[in-house]
Structure formats: structure tokens, C-alpha cells
């Protein structure tokens, strides 16, 4: 047998080797140009946009609600007193000039406490909505970024 045929196809071929070549011919290397796919995977930003829109709508609703509640409350009414130009002080006031009359202040504790309570409840609802939206954004961010490179999956504590 001539070993040169195996390396550079020179010399006389062996019939067994020719038979093997014919059997393995379909598996022979066939060069092809590199084909790149046209459809690269795109990132899906829809969940992030949906969360951002939800947060925006919640903030707008809270702002509108607070503005409506502020408009519903009546502005405080103060009595306006007009002093006539020809005003004579009573004699009692002349004697006790250091005692000036104090304006009457109406207490609005009930209405103020109701408005305060509503404001606190609105604040709590807004904070809850912001916490939920924040957690959803964090979850979406974690899902889109994948696990950190140094994270070991199925890690168990020893001891």
C-alpha cells in the first residue's frame, strides 16, 4: 500500500480505501458562505411601557383628585368691617384704651380634621400605588437584564 495516496492522492489507490471514499462521499466537506439571520431578537419593551403608563395614570388621578378636593373646600370667609369716618369711641373705650377688642375666631376643627383625614388617606393610597409600581418596575428590570453574572443557581446553604 502506498501511503502517499492517503495524504496527497498521488500514487496508486488501495481498492478498500476507494470503497470507503465512495461510501463516505455524501459526508464530505462542502464549503458554504456564512449566512447571518435577518431577524435579530428584539427586546420587548411593552411591559415596561405598560408599567410606566400605569404609574403616570395613577399620578395624574391623584393630582386631579387632590385638586378637586381642594376646590370643594370653601375658602374661609372673614367679616369685613368698615369704620365710618365719623366714628366716636364709646367712653368706656376711652377709659380702657389698653384693652382692645379681640376679633372673634371661629373654630373649624371638625371640617379641618375631616379634610386632614382625607388628605392622609389620599397620601397613603398614593404611597401604596407608588410602592406597587416600583416593585413592578424592579421585577420587569430584573427579568429584562437576566441574572447577575456571578449568581449560582440552585445554591443551598451549608450547615
Instruction: Concatenate the DSSP letters of all residues of 36-100 into one string.
Output: --S-PPPP--HHHHHHHHHHHHHHHHHHHHHHHHHHHSPPPP-------SS----HHHHHTTT-P
What CA–CA distance (Å, rounded) separates 15 from 23?
A: 12
Work out how many domains the chain is built from and give that number. Answer: 2
Domain enclosing residue 7, as ranges:
1-27
Structural domain includes residue 120: yes
Which has the higher per-residue pLDDT, 121 or 39? 121
Give me the chain's average pLDDT, please. 78
* Residue 62 maps to a domain: no
pLDDT per position as a tens digit, 91-127: 555 555 555 555 656 555 566 778 888 899 999 999 9
Q: Which of 134, 157, 150, 146 is nearest to 52 (CA)?
A: 134
Tell me which residue has cell 495524504. 7
Ranges 56-60, 66-70, 105-109: which has the least confidence:
105-109
In a domain, 121, yes or no: yes
User: CA 144, CA 141: separation in Å to the nearest integer?
Assistant: 5
123 within some domain: yes
What pLDDT, on the 0 to 100 scale, is given for residue 61? 96
Q: Which residue has the higher pLDDT, 79 or 27?
A: 27
Structural domain includes residue 19: yes
Q: What is the reported pTM? A: 0.26
Q: Is residue 95 part of a domain?
A: no
Amino acid at each position: 500500500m502506498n501511503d502517499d495516496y492517503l495524504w496527497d492522492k498521488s500514487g496508486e489507490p488501495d481498492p478498500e480505501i476507494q470503497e470507503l471514499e465512495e461510501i463516505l462521499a455524501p459526508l464530505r466537506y462542502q464549503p458554504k458562505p456564512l449566512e447571518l439571520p435577518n431577524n435579530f431578537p428584539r427586546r420587548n419593551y411593552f411591559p415596561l411601557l405598560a408599567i410606566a403608563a400605569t404609574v403616570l395614570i395613577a399620578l395624574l388621578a391623584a393630582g386631579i383628585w387632590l385638586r378637586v378636593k381642594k376646590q370643594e373646600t370653601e375658602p374661609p370667609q372673614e367679616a369685613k368691617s368698615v369704620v365710618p369716618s365719623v366714628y366716636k369711641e364709646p367712653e368706656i373705650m376711652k377709659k380702657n384704651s389698653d384693652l382692645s377688642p379681640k376679633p372673634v375666631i371661629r373654630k373649624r376643627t371638625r371640617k379641618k380634621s375631616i379634610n386632614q383625614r382625607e388628605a392622609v388617606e389620599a397620601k397613603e393610597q398614593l404611597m401604596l400605588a407608588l410602592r406597587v409600581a416600583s416593585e413592578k418596575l424592579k421585577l420587569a428590570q430584573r427579568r429584562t437584564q437576566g441574572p447577575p453574572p456571578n449568581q449560582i443557581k440552585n445554591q443551598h446553604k451549608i450547615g
